[in-house]
Each structure stands twice: as structure tokens, then as C-alpha cells.
Amino acid sequence: MDIPRYWRLKDQRYRLQGKKCLDCGNLSFPPRLVCPKCKSRNYEKYFFIGKGTVYSHTTIYQAPDRFDHIAPYSVGLIDLEEGVRITAQFTDVPAEELKIGMKVEMVIRQIYEDGPKGPILYGYKFRPVISV
Amino acid sequence: MSAVMKPLRNIGIIGYGAYIPVYRLPATEISELWRDGQDNLFLPVKQKSVPGKDEDTITMSIEAAQNALKRAQIDATKIRAIWIGSESHPYAVKPSGTVVAQVLGIVPDILSADMEFACKAGTEAMQAASAFVGSGMGDYALAIGMDTAQGRPGDALEYTAAAGGAAYIIGPAEESLAILEGSYSFVTDTPDFFRRAYQHYPEHGNRFTGDPAYFKHITGSVTKLLEGLNLEPSDFAAAVFHQPNSKFPQKIAKQLGFTSEQIKHGLLAPYIGNTYAGASPLGLTDVLDYSKPGDRVLIASFGSGAGSDAFSFIVTDKIKDAVKRAPLTQDYIGRSIKIDYSRYARWRKKINR
């Protein structure tokens, strides 16, 4: 990821900042310019709470170069409490313990280091719920 | 004698939060690999916490700070300063505090800087936050002590160099769950432990790390704090001392006149190792989890180089509701996944593909 993109997307990566349609209430993540439901362009920022359930998951053994240092790792689809489905990595859970329907919560982790001299990219991952 | 440090405005802790990674490396794994188990009966800790492949001081500080915010229940944008004390900031140049502040949504009207003073960088951040709020520059400040400490393979410190820490939101006394009575900082030039620029692992002065460093400086800060406040060890419900291993905090407690009952909470080194700048702040979160209104609590850090900060707090009735709002320190200690030395070596980048 190049530095301008890293900077521009930081609130999406750090805080699950999506958008809420002011006309029909539809929530979207990542944020969209046009509401897919009512075609409105009338939006406000919306920060997802970051809790949800596992819809599906898989484990990556042959990883792209940037993720090679953490392989094997699990990724999946998560249904957020607000009704939006997103993709993310899982962390702090062995692959054999991941289950469809498991309750998970967002944490901020290193996504990757852009080489030994580049920036460190941080963003959301999901783990089994421990917070109260 | 110099006076006890106390800001003009009364201040205290309005929120606190712990974080410890889930992974644990048993000390026997290190002993078996490097010493054939010959020192199995004399291990400095039972196990140590190890950060996950995707964790560092920034990510761990975020979770501790989120827990502190849950307990404080304030409008987070009123926090006007963030200081993170660590000797393992992910960048040599680029502040950890700005990333944490961005994630917490408390930018841009905030002061931010990273602090370094070996294992006492966390309490140093607490001192700065106390002065900042105490002087009226802002109503709330966030102080964090957090580390992912590294030990050279085979070195004595490899048994204990661990990961974890705690975050504190300092605010006005009337909103506090623990009010600051006073603090005392005690510092001299002591070459007991250091890491030069560009070096991956620290060096230590072997036997020099005990009496001239740890014991002298904690004795200095605690003795002067107690004299200044006209208090005796028996006036405290609990005490937390920096814990580079299991033995040192128990020995300094005894030397200073504290009982084993007073240090039973917050003595976490046997279960998670030495979390460096996170160690004494994390001990205090455990003590607060078990404290009652009216309890007087002592925390004394130690950082090589060398120095110690000692604080006395009095717990208020706000503690009762605050404790329940975020995971307890023991919740983090209890959720453990054991790993072996080979995984530890790969994750901590001691071996590469």
C-alpha cells in the first residue's frame, strides 16, 4: 500500500468508518458515494461498533508475499451487528477453533510492514469476544 | 528534604485499563533449549507473555486505552494529552501516540509524545499527565506504559522479557476512582542496563542490576514519599513494585516493611514475566480491580539508567462501578495459549525464512 492510500483510508481501517444514507438509513462499509438501495448521495459518516458473528472462514497457508510472515492465518466474512457483511482477518484464535456463528469483536493489529524501511499499516482484525 | 510532588489542583485516576497478549512461553522451554533444564528449579518466572505476530506497543496501547475509556465514561475528545512510555516503540522516528489517538478518535486537539526511561517510562507518563491535569492545562490526560520487550537468545533476560501494560486516564479528583495523595521521583546516573542505538538487544550489568539499581532507587522514592506524607507501610492496603522477576518485588517489599498480604494482588511477574514499562502500571490495574473505597495504594516503578517513581493513591467509591465496565487484569492473565520456543523464535523474528 502506498502512503497516500494508507493516510486516506486510516479512519476506515482504524475505526470501521462507513456511511449511513440520510434518506433510507442504509449502512455501508466500505463507504460508498451512492446508496445502493435508494441511489441517494445524501450520506453521513457512520462508525460501526465492531461486533459481529462469523459467516464463513478459511485458512491461508500459501500467502501473498506481504502476509508470508504471519501465514498460516485465517480470514473470513463477518456479519456486523448493524447488518453489514465485511471481510477481515481473524487473530488470536487457532484455525480449528473458528466456527461459523462464533461471536467476534474488532481489534486493531498490524496488517503488514511495508518492507523494513516503509510504514507499518494498522487496521481491523477480528477475534473471539472477550470484552464486557 | 525535598517536598513530596503534588499538583496544585487535586487530581486522580478516572479510568484504567490493562492489556496482556494471549500467548505464553513457559520458562522451562528456554531452560531446556539453552541449559538442558539444569536451572529448572531456579527459574525467575513460571512463564512469560509473548505478543502475537501482529501485535506491537501501538496495538496493545490501543486496547488498554479503550478499556480505560470504558471505565472513565467521559467524552474522549476532552482528553488533551497522550503520553506512551515504552522501550519498544515500533518506529524509531514517528510517534506511537498519534496512531493511538487517531484510533481512539481523539485527534487533532491533543498533545502527544512518546517517552523512554527503560522500565519506568510508564510511570513517567503518569507523572506528566498528573502535572498536566494538575496545572489546569487540560481536564484529562492519557498515560500509557506498554512494552514488547526483547531478550537476547540464551541471555538471563530471555526468561522474563515479556509483553503487556496499562493505560490511565488522569482527571480531576472529584471524578476520580483513586485520588493522588502525592508522588516522589528519585533518579541517578546508573549504568545497570542499556541498549545502544541500532542494537536489537539490550546489555545488562549482571549483579550491578540489584542493590545499586533496583533496590537503591525504589528505597529512595518510597522512603521519601512515605516520610513526606507522614505515612507508614501499615497505612497501605496494597503495594505494587516494579517486577523484573518474581523475587525482587517480594524482597523490596520486605525490606521496606510491607507484608506479603499487601503485595498479593499486582504481583504478576510469575505468570506473565517482566512487561518492562508496563510492569508496575499493570500491577496497579490488578490491585485496583480488587480494591475497596478508602484503600490507600502504593505504586513504585523502577527504570534502569536509573530511577523510580512512587505514588500514593486513595481509592474512592467510584471504583465499584468502574471495575465492571472493562475486562479485569486477571481476565487477560487467565486467557492463555501456550507456545513452544520455535514459534516464539519465529514470531519474535529471531529466525527468518
The whole-number pLDDT of residue B2 equals 82
What DSSP designation does B5 have? Answer: B
3-state DSSP assignment of residue B147: strand
Tell me the pLDDT band of B312, cut-offs 50, 70 and 90: very high
Structural domain that includes position A99: 3-128
Fold of B178-321: Peroxisomal Thiolase; Chain A, domain 1 (3.40.47)
Mean per-residue pLDDT, A5-17 = 95
Residue among B129, B146, B141 nearest B86 (CA): B146
Asked if residue B50 lies in contact with residue B349, where contact means CB atoms within 8 angstroms, the answer is no
Mean per-residue pLDDT, B180-199 = 95
Three cell numbers written together for A127:
477475534
Q: Does A13 touch chain B (CB under 8 A)?
A: no
Q: Does B91 touch chain A (CB under 8 A)?
A: yes
Indicate if B265 belongs to the active site: no
The whole-number pLDDT of residue B140 equals 98
pLDDT above 70 (res B158): yes
Residue A122 distance to chain B (closest CA, Å): 8
Three cell numbers written together for A61:
497457508
The whole-number pLDDT of residue B293 equals 98
B96-145 pLDDT, tens digit per residue, is 999 999 999 999 999 999 999 999 999 999 999 999 999 999 999 999 99
Residue A67 distance to chain B (closest CA, Å): 10
Question: In chain A, how many domains are there?
Answer: 1
pLDDT above 70 (res A1): no
**In this structure, how many other beta carbons lie within 10 angstroms of the beta carbon of residue B149?**
27
What does DSSP say about strands B23-26 and B337-338: parallel, antiparallel, or unpaired? parallel
Of all helices (H) and strands (E), which one includes residue B167? strand B163-172
Indicate if B242 belongs to the active site: yes
Q: Residue B224: what residue type?
A: K
**In this structure, how many other beta carbons lie within 10 angstroms of the beta carbon of residue B2?**
9
Residue among B311, B285, B302, B298 nearest B119 (CA): B302
The whole-number pLDDT of residue B66 equals 98
In chain B, pLDDT over 70 holds for what percent of residues? 100
| Long-range contacts at B101-108 (CB < 8 A, ≥ 24 apart) | B102/A10, B102/A11, B102/A14, B103/A14, B103/A15, B103/A108, B103/A122, B103/B62, B104/B62, B104/B65, B104/B66, B104/B69, B104/B76, B104/B79, B105/A15, B105/A47, B105/B76, B105/B77, B106/B76, B106/B77, B106/B79, B106/B82, B106/B142
Dihedral over Cα of B227, B228, B230, B231: its sign: negative
Q: How far is CA A113 from the centre of its chain?
A: 18
pLDDT above 80 (res B30): yes
Three cell numbers written together for B20:
496482556
Q: How far is CA B154 from CA A46, B35, B275, in A?
A: 50, 8, 19
Q: Do domains B11-177+322-347 and B178-321 have the same CATH topology?
A: yes
Fold of B11-177+322-347: Peroxisomal Thiolase; Chain A, domain 1 (3.40.47)
> For chain B, where are the alpha helices, taking DSSP H only?
27-35, 57-72, 96-104, 121-134, 216-229, 247-256, 269-272, 279-289, 319-324, 329-334, 341-347
> Rounded to 5 degrees, what are φ and ψ at A120?
-95, 125
In chain A, pLDDT over 90 holds for what percent of residues? 90
The whole-number pLDDT of residue A132 equals 73
Q: Does B63 sit within 8 Å of A108, measured CB to CB?
A: yes
Domain boundaries, chain B: 11-177+322-347, 178-321
A34-88 pLDDT, tens digit per residue, is 999 999 999 999 999 999 999 999 999 999 999 999 999 999 999 999 999 999 9
B31-88 pLDDT, tens digit per residue, is 999 999 999 889 999 999 999 999 999 999 999 999 999 999 999 999 999 999 999 9
Indicate if B217 belongs to the active site: no
Average pLDDT over chain B reads 96
Q: What is the ipTM of this complex?
A: 0.96
Residue in chain B lying closest to A111 (CA): B54
The beta-carbon neighbor of B54 closest among A10, A14, A125 is A125
Choice among B89, B217, B242, B265 that is catalytic = B242
Q: How far is CA B28 from CA B35, B36, B146, B149, B314, in A?
A: 10, 9, 25, 19, 40
The beta-carbon neighbor of A10 closest among B59, B94, B102 is B102
Mean per-residue pLDDT, A94-121 = 95
Residue among B173, B179, B171 nearest B68 (CA): B171
Q: Residue B292: what residue type?
A: K
3-state DSSP assignment of residue B181: strand
B264-283 pLDDT, tens digit per residue, is 999 999 999 999 999 999 99
Residue A25 distance to chain B (closest CA, Å): 23
pLDDT above 80 (res B206): no
What does the alpha-carbon distance between residue B298 and residue B281 come to, in Å, rounded to a whole number? Answer: 11
pLDDT above 80 (res B307): yes
The whole-number pLDDT of residue B261 equals 98
The whole-number pLDDT of residue B1 equals 63
Q: Does A97 touch chain B (CB under 8 A)?
A: no
Mean per-residue pLDDT, B227-237 = 98
Q: Does A10 sit within 8 Å of B54, measured CB to CB?
A: no
Best residue in B24, B70, B103 to probe A by mutation, most A CBs within 10 Å? Answer: B103
3-state DSSP assignment of residue B300: strand
The beta-carbon neighbor of A122 closest among B59, B70, B327 is B59
CATH number of the domain residue A38 falls in:
2.40.50.840
Torsion of Cα atoms, A26 then A17 then A105 then A24, to 10°: -10
